[in-house]
Amino acid sequence: MTPVVAPFFHEPSSTWSYVVSDPGTRQAAIVDPVLDFDAASGHTGTASAQGLLDHVHGKGLDVRWLLETHAHADHLSAGHWLKGRLPAATLAIGEGIRTVQARFARMFNLGGDFPVDGSQFDHLFADGEGFTVGGIDARVIAVPGHTSDSCAYLVGNALFTGDSLFMPDGGTARCDFPGGSAAQLFRSIQRLYALPEPTRVFVCHDYGPDGRDVACETSIGAQKRGNIHVRADTTEGEFVAVREARDRTLDMPALILPAVQVNIRAGALPEPDDNGVRYLRIPIDTL
């Protein structure tokens, strides 16, 4: 039940993507792949996603899952692009994506043509749903708080936290996006803290606080002892106060407007206009 976990760091967004595989069957899942995007020029790029593909092909892995921990607000997902190259893979996200889609469909005025039923994905996970990566049992743990659709994936003894817990010295994910809630994130983290202490924890972002090298792996025990926002004995009130105070200091992510428009489409770009060009929208004085 011990998967092999290969981490990949996307420097512009400080995102960790992972290839997690069963060494017995060589079946694999890719977690949170990133599509490169240069906001100044409007250019997309696939170098990072190609790096994941090269790894998969080099190791002879058979990718069965493309797992999104949530509709990211800071980078575009390469889920759709990879799905086109890995047809055996099921592109999946938590069922809370419907709530996120409905909220942003209103913000971007997408109208009746944009389905808010999650049908852009191949599969929507329910909280607690089981699945397998080759011979390894896996389970979905809904962790709303950062976003309504946030999920953690427990694959064997490896937990992919998405944006809930970061490394112990990085604390937790912000809760000030539309639909976010610090109290809800606290309750989600309590569910993760109920896992065995040796559970390996793989984070979705690391910002290398205080100039340390970026890191991606810790454990539930280390989090409960040392997370700067939430330890085993932290109360909900204490956590909410700390989280909301920090959220008041943060600017919106540079890519939030492009990212959510693409990620509620499972990483697909909007359909082109009649001139063949695809456009993203910027709602003025709305976010």
Tell me how crowded residue 235 is: count the other CB atoms within 10 A of its CB.
10
Stretch that binds Fe ion, among 64-72, 98-106, 186-194, 230-238 (CB under 5 A): 64-72
Total residues contacting Fe ion by CB under 5 A comes to 2
Whole-number Cα distances in Å, 179 to 2, 66, 109, 147? 35, 24, 17, 6
Taking the complex as a whole, how short is the minimal distance between the CB of residue 246 and ligand GSH, in angstroms? 5
Identify which range of 40-48, 111-119, 131-139, 247-255 contacts ligand GSH by CB under 6 A. Answer: 247-255
H or E stretch covering 91: strand 90-94
Report the candidate in 2, 1, 51 with the shortest Cα–Cα distance to residue 30.
Answer: 51
Binding range to ligand GSH, per CB under 6 A, among 22-30, 52-60, 132-140, 246-254: 246-254
| 75/80 with CB nearer Fe ion | 75
Contact call for residue 22 and Fe ion (CB under 5 A): no
Cα atoms in the 13 Å half-sphere on the side-chain side of 27? 16
Instruction: Give the per-residue contact string, 68-87, with Fe ion (x = CB under 5 A; - = no).
Output: ----x---------------
Contacts 24+ apart (CB under 8 A), 178-181: 178/103, 178/104, 178/107, 178/287, 179/99, 179/100, 179/103, 179/147, 179/148, 180/145, 180/146, 180/147, 181/144, 181/145
**Residue 134 or residue 153: which is nearer to Fe ion going by CB?**
153
The reply on whether position 36 binds Fe ion by CB under 5 A is no
Q: Give the shortest CB-58-to-ligand GSH separation in angstroms.
A: 30
Q: CA torsion angle for 17, 21, 26, 27 (degrees, to 10)?
A: -80
Q: DSSP label at 186?
A: H
DSSP 8-state class, residue 229: S
The DSSP bridge partners found for residue 37 are: 44
Query: Which of 80, 174, 200, 224 touches ligand GSH (CB under 6 A)?
Result: 174
* Sites for Fe ion among residues 132-171 (CB under 5 A): 163
Q: Which amino acid is at 4?
A: V
Site string for ligand GSH, 58-87 (x = CB under 6 A): ---------------xx-------------
Instruction: Give the tokens for residue 91.
Output: 């592109």
Q: Which one of 30-38, 86-94, 191-199, 245-253 is the stretch in contact with ligand GSH (CB under 6 A)?
A: 245-253
**What does 254 bind: Fe ion, ligand GSH, none (CB cut-off 5 to 8 Å by kind)?**
ligand GSH
Positions that interact with ligand GSH (CB under 6 A): 13, 73-74, 163, 173-174, 205, 246, 250, 253-254
